[in-house]
Amino acid sequence: MLEDWDFFVLEPGEGFLEPQKVFDNQKPLHLEIGSGKGEFLSQYAPLHPQWNFLGLEAADKRIRNILKKINSERHSNVRLMRMMVDAGIAQLLPPESVACVYIQHPDPWPKRRHHRRRLFQPEFLKALAQVMEPGAELHIATDHKEYSIWIAEMMLKQAEYVSLQNEVIQNSPSLQDHVATWYETEQRRQGFEPHFMLFKRI
């Protein structure tokens, strides 16, 4: 387990993280924010060895959950970092270094007085746009209807992004090889259908 931790978990350092050094190759970097229990990284990354995957996850416990699902043979293209993501992401990753971003079931913070804790805020979206390459995709899923509308409104106000779907919010996954995450499965069981969005960094 400790060996896995050393292989997979990156420690924040001075200056930008250098993806080419971390993965020892030049493959495009895909970023998952809020990796939870790791269903997506553990199932999706082995299907796409042509890409590198970095999972940013705030909770130590979740990092440990993810480590139980991955191993250095099948998941050599995966790394994790424990980080509470916000606009500071522009200090972590070099400008235009990310080819694709996945944010699946971000905490909805449903109470109005907690809305300011939501990840989708203008400052964060501007910072995320800085680290995304032009043309990079942002895949979003949430089971929370009101938060899906909040996200769509925030995204459409940002000049850096454009929706790639006819309907900005739709009920079918934006990824062909969609992985049902723990939250998606759990929320569906409780009767909440996920909402999917797909944007491109202009």
Helices within 75-169 (DSSP H only):
89-92, 122-131, 145-157
Contacts with ligand SAM by CB under 6 A: the residue count is 18
Q: Which residue is nearest to ligand SAM (CB)?
A: 36
- Set 4, 24, 60, 107: catalytic member: 107
| 143 is annotated as an active-site residue | no
Tell me if residue 89 falls in helix, strand or coil: helix
Tell me if 122 sits within 8 A of 136, measured CB to CB. no
Using CB under 6 A as the binding rule, whether residue 180 contacts ligand SAM is answered as no
Q: Judged by CB under 6 A, does residue 181 bind ligand SAM?
A: yes
Measured in degrees and rounded to the nearest 5, phi and psi for residue 146 equal -65, -40
For residue 33, list its beta bridge partners: 56, 103
Q: By CB under 6 A, tell whether 119 contacts ligand SAM.
A: yes
CB 13, min distance to ligand SAM, A: 18
Residue 86 one-letter amino acid: D
Residues 43-102 that bind ligand SAM (CB under 6 A): 56-59, 62, 84-85
Closest separation in Å from C-beta 183 to ligand SAM:
3
Q: How far is residue 134 from each of residues 139, 141, 174, 192, 199, measured CA to CA in Å?
A: 15, 22, 19, 34, 12
| Catalytic center residues | 107
| Residues of this chain that bind ligand SAM (CB under 6 A) | 33-34, 36, 56-59, 62, 84-85, 104-105, 107, 119, 181-184
